[in-house]
Amino acid sequence: MLFLAEMEVRLPPDMPAEHADELKAREREYSQAAQRDGRWPHLWRVAGRYANVSVLDVGSIDELHELLSGLPLFPYLDIRVTPLARHPNAIDRGESDV
């Protein structure tokens, strides 16, 4: 199942820089592991904002929730999720569902 996830990061302005840096390092490790195992095939920065647009490929909505809620920055994320389906006019480029 494919999902589009739009995430905006909202760290508190008074968060100590050391804590923010530690969270971001853990976030990098977590998200890169999900990219390597195929659950996070696309991760794109939104220019000009502390935000990203991602395509996630998971087996269920519960797995999606587990993946997103496991993000170290989860308490500071504003996340909007949209289920995706292949468009009938899309050219087949040999990709599974992405």
CB burial string 18-36: b at 16+ within 10 A, e below: eeeeebeeebeebbeebee
SS3 content of the chain, % helix, strand, coil (to 5): 35, 30, 40
pLDDT of res. 96: 59
> What pLDDT score does 92 carry?
84
CATH class entry, domain 2-84: alpha beta
| Predicted local confidence at residue 94, as pLDDT | 73
CA 89 to chain centre: 26
Each residue's pLDDT tens digit in the chain (98 positions)? 999 999 999 999 999 999 999 999 999 999 999 999 999 999 999 999 999 999 999 999 999 999 999 999 999 999 999 999 999 999 987 765 55
User: Which residues are 60's β-sheet partners?
Assistant: none
Strand pairing class (51-57; 42-45): antiparallel
